[in-house]
């Protein structure tokens, strides 16, 4: 085994254990890498913690803008939602994180990358598929599939035996993942699908709809070729738009979902996700597509969205199919330009008007008033042709006595 291992490091319980475990079991130099995708204060104090537990150095790689521009926005443009609910907050971050790990491993001359994903979870698949796609020569170490530690209690005991400070309190055992796009929660009462989440203990980005203001909040988003470019008339980069939407959406109880989803490895798991800004961005983008895309493109794109979400969820970002689907999506976005107004009220997103220079809505045609572009008499011939198969089948049933 190489004497240099790059570790995906968060400073949480698992990765705190992994540093001494790697040194004890592989006699290697551990290079810790924290990839910043907008997790905020979670990065504070990481260097001291990593070095004090045995890492030779810590990289903090800020890829927040790349995360948003290269992974989040393509998912928004594809309208990719996993199993009708999940806005892919953890899923879409993993390929960017893994790519950063690969880049540093190559820079440092390491021959292995280590991650703290469990053997039951999705992230092991997402990390490792990306590593295989970008650097197939690198070894992968997955401690949860190797070591004797079976629980968080075991991990805490491991650190205490070595006089290493435990980076969490024993009572705080929700499993969380945070980035700019979302915050996920698993564990405790969520492991019983029959129990309502204790939202007062869970929520950190949002309030419940009951605690949201009694007065609606109006916002306006502007898109150019499917990309968000302005919020309330102010030009911003996409990451700043999402950060601002998180604040206003969270304050209005937007984007809280409770889902029992199908993991890649075959089991169901239950989680609560907070995605306030993401929920708003998806909704606004959809509203603009309703205005700008023709019937067949919109219908086909909705089918494609399901497959796109499955690929992202399963860690298949760096695949020919995902790249081809993104190319199709980008082509559909050429006319998805315009403004969308929304009303936010107690967990609800309500459309309040949309405009676009490429709108396919024509008032002269759609109006109840007869105009030159649409002759009501034309509908009769259309219906006769459109309904011909039904008429032919009914005549056959009459002749044959078929019921």
In sequence order, which residues have a C-beta less than 8 Å from that of residue 255 and are 6 or more positions away?
A: 87, 206, 249, 273, 274, 275, 276, 277, 278, 279, 280
Q: Report pLDDT for 45.
A: 87
Is residue 156 pLDDT above 90, yes or no? yes
Residues 348 and 369 in one domain: no
The annotation status of 224 as a binding-site residue, yes or no, is no
Residues 368 and 348 in one domain: no
Is residue 253 pLDDT above 90, yes or no? yes
Residues 274 and 166 in one domain: no
Residues 104 and 190 in one domain: no
By the 8 A CB rule, do 102 and 130 touch?
A: yes
Which residue, chain included where needed, has tokens 């309703």?
A: 290
Is residue 78 pLDDT above 60, yes or no? yes
Q: Report pLDDT for 175.
A: 87
Domain that includes residue 255, residue range: 182-293+336-355
Q: Report pLDDT for 1.
A: 47
Q: How confident is the model at residue 373 (pLDDT cuts 50, 70, 90)?
A: confident
Spell out the SS3 assignment of the chain.
CCCEEEEECCCCHHHHHHHHHHHHHHCCEEEEEEEECCCHHHHCCHHHHHHHCCCCEEEEEECHHHHHHHHHHHHHHHCCCECCCECCHHHHHHHHHHHHHHHHHHHHCCCEEECCCCCCCCHHHHHHHHHHHHCCCCEEECHHHCCCCCCHHHHHHHHHHCCCCCCCCCCCCCEEEECCCCEEEECHHHHCCCCCCCHHHHCCCCCCHHHCCCCCEEEEEEEECCEEEEECCEECCHHHHHHHHHHHHHHCCCCEEEEEEECCCCCEEEEEEECHHHHHHHHHHHHHHHHHCCHHHHHHHHHHHHHHHHHHHCCCCCCHHHHHHHHHHHHHHHHCCEEEEEEEECCEEEEEEEECCCCCCCHHHHCCCCECCECCCHHHHHHHHHCHHHHHHHHHHHHHCCC
The annotation status of 12 as a binding-site residue, yes or no, is yes
When divided into structural domains, the chain yields a total of 3
The annotation status of 126 as a binding-site residue, yes or no, is yes
Indicate whether 81 belongs to any domain. no
> Domain of 242: which CATH number?
3.90.1260.10
Is residue 171 pLDDT above 70, yes or no? no
The annotation status of 49 as a binding-site residue, yes or no, is no
In sequence order, which residues have a C-beta less than 8 Å from that of residue 16 and are 6 or more positions away?
A: 49, 53, 159, 164, 166, 167
Residues 137 and 286 in one domain: no
Indicate whether 325 belongs to any domain. no
Sign of the C-alpha dihedral, residues 128, 130, 132, 138? Answer: negative
Nearest-Å Rg of the Cα atoms of the chain is: 25
Indicate whether 229 belongs to any domain. yes
Residues 382 and 345 in one domain: no
Q: Report pLDDT for 351.
A: 98
Is residue 399 pLDDT above 50, yes or no? yes
Residues 21 and 167 in one domain: yes
Residues 135 and 113 in one domain: yes
Residues 152 and 124 in one domain: yes
Indicate whether 396 belongs to any domain. yes
Instruction: Write out the catalytic residue numbers.
Output: 14, 94, 123, 175
Mean pLDDT, to the nearest integer, of 127-156? 96
Residues 226 and 169 in one domain: no
Q: How far apart are the first and last CA of the chain?
A: 74
The annotation status of 116 as a binding-site residue, yes or no, is yes
Mean pLDDT, to the nearest integer, of 36-62? 92
Residues 134 and 189 in one domain: no
Q: Which candidate, 298, 317, 308, places its Cα nearest to that of 99? A: 317
Indicate whether 287 belongs to any domain. yes
Is residue 346 pLDDT above 50, yes or no? yes
Structure tokens at 368: 């109840």
The annotation status of 273 as a binding-site residue, yes or no, is yes
299-309 pLDDT tens trace: 999 999 999 99
Residues 209 and 284 in one domain: yes
Structure tokens at 19: 């540093």
Q: Report pLDDT for 40.
A: 82
Indicate whether 304 belongs to any domain. no
């Amino acid at each position: 085994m190489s004497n240099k291992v790059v570790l995906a490091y968060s400073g949480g319980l698992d990765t705190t254990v992994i540093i001494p475990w790697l040194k004890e079991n592989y006699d290697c130099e551990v290079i810790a890498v924290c990839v910043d995708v907008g997790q905020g204060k979670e990065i504070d104090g990481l260097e001291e913690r990593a070095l004090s537990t045995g890492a030779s150095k810590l990289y903090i790689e800020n890829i927040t803008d790349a995360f948003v521009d290269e992974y989040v926005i393509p998912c928004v443009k594809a309208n990719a939602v996993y199993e009708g609910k999940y806005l892919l907050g953890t899923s879409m971050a993993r390929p960017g994180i893994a790519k950063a790990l690969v880049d540093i491993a190559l820079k440092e001359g390491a021959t292995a990358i280590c991650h703290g994903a469990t053997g039951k979870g999705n992230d092991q698949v997402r990390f490792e598929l990306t590593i295989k796609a970008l650097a197939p020569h690198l070894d992968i170490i997955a401690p949860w599939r190797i070591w004797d530690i079976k629980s968080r209690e075991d991990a805490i005991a491991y650190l205490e035996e070595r006089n290493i400070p435990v980076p969490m309190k024993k009572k705080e055992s929700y499993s969380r993942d945070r980035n700019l796009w979302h915050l996920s929660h698993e564990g405790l009462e969520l492991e019983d699908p029959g129990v309502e989440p204790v939202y007062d203990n869970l929520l950190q980005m949002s309030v419940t709809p009951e605690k949201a203001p009694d007065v609606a909040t109006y916002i306006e988003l502007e898109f150019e070729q499917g990309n968000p470019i302005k919020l309330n008339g102010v030009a911003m980069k996409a990451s700043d738009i999402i950060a601002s939407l998180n604040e206003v959406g969270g304050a209005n109880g937007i984007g809280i979902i409770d889902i029992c989803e199908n993991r890649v490895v075959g089991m169901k798991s239950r989680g609560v996700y907070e995605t306030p800004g993401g929920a708003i961005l998806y909704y606004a983008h959809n509203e603009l597509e309703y205005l700008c895309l023709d019937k067949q493109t919109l219908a086909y794109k909705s089918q494609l969205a399901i497959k796109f979400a499955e690929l992202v969820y399963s860690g298949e970002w760096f695949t020919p199919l995902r790249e081809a689907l993104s190319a199709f999506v980008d082509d559909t976005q050429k006319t998805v330009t315009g403004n969308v107004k929304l009303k936010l009220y107690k967990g609800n997103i309500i459309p309040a008007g949309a405009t676009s220079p490429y709108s396919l809505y024509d008032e002269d045609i759609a109006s109840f008033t007869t105009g030159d572009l649409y002759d009501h008499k034309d509908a009769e011939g259309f219906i006769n042709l459109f309904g011909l198969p039904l008429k032919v089948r009914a005549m056959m049933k009459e002749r044959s006595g078929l019921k």
